[in-house]
Amino acid sequence: MFYVNPHAMRGPYPADLQTIMSIARAQQSREWLSHWDGLVPGSTPLRALPDLAASLGVRSVLVKDEALRSALGSFKALGAPIALVRLLLRRFEGHGFTARSLLNGEHRDALAAAGFTVVSATDGNHGRALAAAAQSIGCRCVIVLHAQVSVEREQAIAAYGAQIVRIAGNYDDSVEEAAALAERNECKGWHVVSDTSYDGYEIIPRDVMQGYAAVAAEVSEALDGDASPKDAACPITHVFLQGGVGGLAAGIVSYLWERWGVWRPTFVVVEPEQADCLYQSAMAGKAASASGAVDSVMAGLACGETSPLAWRFLQPAVDAFMTVTDAQAVDAMKRLATGTGNDVPFVAGESGVAGLAGLRLAAATPAMASALGLTSGSRVLLINTEGATAPSVYADLVGESATSVTQRQQAWLAR
């Protein structure tokens, strides 16, 4: 499915949105994150894939590889710690806490005495990142998992000391359960740290999304965009972004829109066809629910409810919404794992390839390509949001282990 958004605009970044998320706040988040040993120092790779670009009939394809952001294996490592730090700075104002001292674990005794506990639902990656951040900071963490989350992903979260709560149902049911747990235990110091917003709950999801903007900031710097005139066009013409509840897309869109204003790139959001909440929101003109069963091999995007806060950024900025099949996602995983003579092979997880799956479909469909202005001169940015966060699932889908792909990558780089 493909839908051109009639509400997309090309004006300057709106002032009301800038009060929620801004480049200045994104840079502050980056500075704070530089003090967390849960992240690999420096920026993640921005991979150029000239053979892939040629096969799709575009000028260039760049892939920002968030699989190498940290041992957590996904971009979620940018959002959860920032949201947790900002929450703690608000809750313990006047106690002398700083972002650096929190991330260094200097206040774990005070947090234990206060009974401070964070709780969240997850499909896997956000919960793992929150558990890791909570372990570093020194507070208790409870993660709610729904029926479709694999045991492999559960074990990866539990390895960071989180208490696991299992429920029946899907992701949206787990979001409700996490909120209910926090409400029942509010007097004990429990707080929801979720990456999706809902009625009356927007501050923490805002902080999560602001952390994700670090990805866009690194892309901008890598392209030397910050040195170009403010009225110059963005060196990227198109950005294909993963859907989910909309948090990542909102974080990236907000930064690039503020940076380039009317010259911003064309934004396209891609979702699993059975978890199409953002597509349905675009059709309805307001935050809406998915039309399908939600469950998808793209586990991180298997979300049924749009984040209303994220939608405030996506509705005026995203030029088109589209869906892809699980089979198309798996084909994209295999393409990146295989590489070519000029394209380095690398590991991209099930949700990490949604943007590439969408780009391949759009490039092969003349009507879509025309609607998007996708031509031989297009310069496309994709974001690989995760690596093999469930190694056995990755190996089953690709037919090769992530370790094997990485070994071939090393051989390619050593040529």
Active site residues: 76, 123
Residues 267/239, Cβ–Cβ less than 8 Å: yes
